[in-house]
Amino acid sequence: MKIADAKVIVCRPGRNFVTLKLTTDDGITGVGDATLNGRELAVATYLREHVAPLLIGRDAARIEDTWQYLFQGAYWRRGPVTMTAIAAVDTALWDIKGKVAGLPVYQLLGGRSRDDVTVYGHANGETVDEVLTQVAGYVERGYRAVRVQCGIPGLEKTYGVSADKLFYEPADAPRPTETRWSTRRYLTAIPPVFARVRDQFGPHLALLHDVHHRLTPIEAGRVGASLEPYGLYWLEDPVPADLQEGFRIIRQHTTTPIAVGEVFNSIWDCHQLIREQLIDYIRATVVHAGGITHLRRILDLAALHHVRSGSHGATDLSPVGMAAALQLDVSIPNFGIQEYMPHTEETDQVFPHGYRFADGALHPSDEPGLGVDIDEAAAARYPYAPAYLPVNRLEDGTVHPW
Ligand code: EZ4
Ligand code: CO
C-alpha cells in the first residue's frame, strides 16, 4: 500500500486552516491538520514543495519510519514549521492505518483508558460581573472545568477577552493588532476575580487561568501564591518556557499547578521541565509537536514524572487536529484535561467529524481511523486571507521582551 497522492488544502471557513490529505494506491485517504496560526502558508509550502514529493511511492504503513525519515532526513531539525508539517503526515498515516485495520486510532494506541475526555470551556469578560455570567453559562451547559480570563482595569484590551462569547479569535487582523500590558495592574486585578468566582460557584468547579507568557518567574511565583486560596486546576504559561530552568523559581514560591507548552514543537522543548517536575500539565499538541507519534513520546516521558496532559485546543486547531488529539486523550494513562472551543458552523461543515460534546466532555468517534474528513468542495468556497496574532507592548511602548 503506497502513498499515491499528497494534497495540501488551505481554506478559511471563518478562520484559516491547512490540511494535508494523503491517498494510497488502493484509494484509502487520511487527513492531518497542518495549521500554524498566522504562519499558515509557510507550512503549506514546506509540505507542497519539500515533503509531498518525497511521500509519493512510500509505504503508507510505515508510520515510525516516515517520521524518522522526515525528522532526521531534513538535517534541519525541529522548529514549528517543520514539526507541524511532519505532524500532518504522521496524523494522516495514523488515519489510514486505522481505516485499514477497521479500528478507531485509539484502539491501535492501546484502547480506552477512560470513557470520555473531560474538557474546559472559556469564560471571559471585561468585568468580573460579565465573567460570572459567562461561567454560569458554562456550568449550565454541563462543563466541569472553566478557564477564566478578565479585563484588567486600565488596559484597553486583554488577551483572551473578546466580544464574541462562544469563542475568541486572537488572529484578528491582516496586520498584527498591538496591545499594551502592565504587570502591576494585572497582579492587583486578578486575585479578586478568582475570589468572586469561587465564592459564587463553590469549591468543586475546576478553574483555570492563562497568563499568556506575560510574567517573569518571580512575578509568576507571586501570582501563583496569591491564587492559592482559590485552588486553581492550573495556571497556564506564566512565563515563556525557552528558559526551562526558570521554572525552578516558580516552584520555590507556589503550589499552584503549572501548565505550559502550547507552543512546544518537540520533546526537546520540555524534557527538563518534565524531568525536574517543574510543571504539572504539558500542553503540547498533536498538530504542533510532531503528530501522534511524537506527542505520545512526550506524554510517556511525562507519565514517568507525574506530569499529565492538557493539550491546547483553541479554534486554530482544526476538527482534524481535535479528532487526533482525542485519540491520545482517551487512551493515555496520564490524561489531565483537554482544551475545547467550539468551531463555527462553516468550519464544522468543511470538516465533518464524529466526535461530539456532552456532559462536560468530548466523546471520540468510534469510526475507523480518526473519524474526521475534509469536504474539499466546501473548503474551496472559503479562500485564505492573512490573519495575524497580536503583538504585545509594555506601557512605554517596548515590545514585551519575553
Ligand atoms: O494563543 O490558539 O490557551 N490558548 C491560547 C490561545 C493561543 C492561540 C494561538 O494560536 O493561549 O489563544
Ligand atoms: Co494559552
Query: Among 261, 264, 267, which Cα is nearest to 283's?
Result: 261
| Helix ranges, 153-290 (H) | 183-201, 217-227, 247-253, 271-275
Query: Among 173, 176, 125, which Cα is nearest to 150's?
Result: 125
Counting atoms of ligand 1 from 1, which one is nearest the CA of 314? Answer: 2
Residue type, 128: V
Query: Among 167, 106, 118, which Cα is nearest to 144's?
Result: 118
pLDDT of residue 162: 83
pLDDT of residue 327: 98
Residues 193 and 228: beta-carbon distance below 8 Å: no
| Grid cell at residue 327 | 485519540
Q: What is the Cα 266 distance to its own chain's centre?
A: 14
pLDDT of residue 343: 97
Distance from Cα 288 to the centre of ligand 1, integer Å: 12
Q: Which residues of 344-377 are buried (b: 16+ CB within 10 A; e: fewer)?
A: eebbeebbebbbebeebbbbbbebbbbbbbbeee
Which ligand neighbours the alpha carbon of 317 most closely? Answer: 1
* Residues less than 5 Å from ion ligand 2, measured at CB: 210, 262
Q: Find the mean pLDDT for residues 197-226.
A: 98
pLDDT band for position 157 (cuts 50, 70, 90): confident
pLDDT of residue 197: 98
pLDDT band for position 311 (cuts 50, 70, 90): very high
How far is Cα 96 from Cα 327, in angstroms, rounded to an integer? 14
Secondary structure letter of residue 35 according to DSSP: -
Return the percentage of the chain with pLDDT > 90, whole number.
Answer: 95
Query: Among 132, 182, 184, which Cα is nearest to 156's?
Result: 182
pLDDT band for position 122 (cuts 50, 70, 90): very high
pLDDT band for position 53 (cuts 50, 70, 90): very high
Q: Find the mean pLDDT for residues 255-264.
A: 98
Q: Find the mean pLDDT for residues 177-204.
A: 96
Distance from Cα 100 to the centre of ligand 2, integer Å: 36
pLDDT band for position 234 (cuts 50, 70, 90): very high
Q: Find the mean pLDDT for residues 108-119.
A: 98
Residue 163 class from Cβ within 10 Å (0-12 exposed, 13-18 middle, 19+ buried)? exposed
pLDDT of residue 159: 83
**46 part of the active site:** no
Residue type, 89: V
Residues 85 and 105: beta-carbon distance below 8 Å: no
User: Does the pLDDT value for residue 160 go beyond 90?
Assistant: no
pLDDT of residue 86: 99
Q: Find the mean pLDDT for residues 241-264.
A: 98
As a whole number of angstroms, the longest Cα–Cα distance in the chain is: 62
**271 part of the active site:** no
pLDDT of residue 237: 98
Q: What is the pLDDT of residues 350-394, one digit of tens each?
A: 999 999 999 999 999 999 999 999 999 999 999 999 999 999 999
Q: Find the mean pLDDT for residues 205-228.
A: 98
**What residues are in contact with ligand 1 under a 6 Å CB criterion?**
37, 170, 210, 212, 262, 312, 314, 316
pLDDT band for position 401 (cuts 50, 70, 90): confident
Residues 264 and 241: beta-carbon distance below 8 Å: yes
Q: Find the mean pLDDT for residues 291-295.
A: 98
Backbone angles phi, psi at 301, to 5 degrees: -60, -45
